[in-house]
Structure 1
């Protein structure tokens, strides 16, 4: 894992791959550039890239929503690397590195692989924390760190 700026070329490639996958699932997708890059700058944020050998295969950002709550954002692992545990590692290492007590994540309801990952990792459904989200399309989940249930 390597910490990189949000505007790093590998981040751009991975977040565009995520967007392409979302477009395929839903016919629409958030623009990765809509989240200000500064949201992922230390000390309030972080963006990590996972490599297998020299190849970047996944990554994701974390940003603090408040003093105790972190949000995982733009997490993506390429298809060939998904069975290696990279996504699960990214989920909590990010938030723990920001000293958050609670971690939140939102994904689309058709992204069954992501929903299964969050469920296995102990995330529970919660009300949407993003204004204007359609609950018929999006699922918000949360988890208290160091616990198996969300606060």
Structure 2
């Protein structure tokens, strides 16, 4: 079954399941674990329209991936929480989630995306580089982040 990507509330049961799975994986990989702060976390209003969004990839009723866009009303927004379930990795789902978040960001008049990631996630670093993201200087105080990226969005119609 091909996954379906759809807009979701970040507090929905499927979204919370995805976030818990994501945080659990980070805790297992990061030396010293991972503390997401108050769960489900601050800033969820910035991951809901009109400022941002939260996308879920569903296989039937099962959440197998997610990505969020955290906005503040400016032309720049931050991509957060890209996660794909282990069983769905290698299928192109991460690329599909990122393409969808970029498309929807452009529709929201967002022209510039940023994101951060950890040195303990080398596959993520390689993924972002392969998909047109450019490394930039640190833009936040996230203690788990070591790599920072940006991507300007162009009109999808101009590349056809």
TM superposition score category, shorter chain reference: 0.7 to 0.9
Gaps of 5+ in 2: 156-160
| Partner of residue 109 from structure 1, selected from 116, 119, 130 | 119
Q: How many Å separate the matches in 2 of 1:103 and 1:92?
A: 12
| Contact persistence 1:70–1:95 (CA under 8 A) | no
Q: Tell me how many residue pairs correspond in the alignment.
A: 145
* Residues 105, 111 of structure 2: 8 Å contact kept: no
2:129 aligned to 96, 104, 119, which one?
Answer: 119
Calculate the TM-score normalised by the size of structure 2.
0.81
Cα shift readout 1:4-59 (whole Å, capped 9, x = no counterpart) = 11101111111111111111111332235233221111111111110224321001
Q: Does 1:7 align with 2:19?
A: no
Q: Distance in 1 between matches of 2:151 and 2:48?
A: 23
Q: Greater CA radius of gyration, 1 or 2?
A: 2
* 3-state SS in 2 of match to 1:84: coil
C-alpha distance 38-65 of structure 1, shift in aligned 2 (>3 A): closer
**Normalising by the residue count of structure 1, what TM-score does the alignment of the two structures yield?**
0.85
Cα deviation digits, residues 86-119 of structure 1 (max 9, x gap): 2122224213313321111111111011111101
Deviation at 1:133, TM superposition (A): 3.4
Map Cα deviations across residues 48-89 of structure 1 (whole Å, 9 max, x no partner).
Answer: 110224321001110224521121111111111121212122
2:152 corresponds, among 130, 144, 147, to 144
Structure 1 residues not aligned, in runs of 5+: none
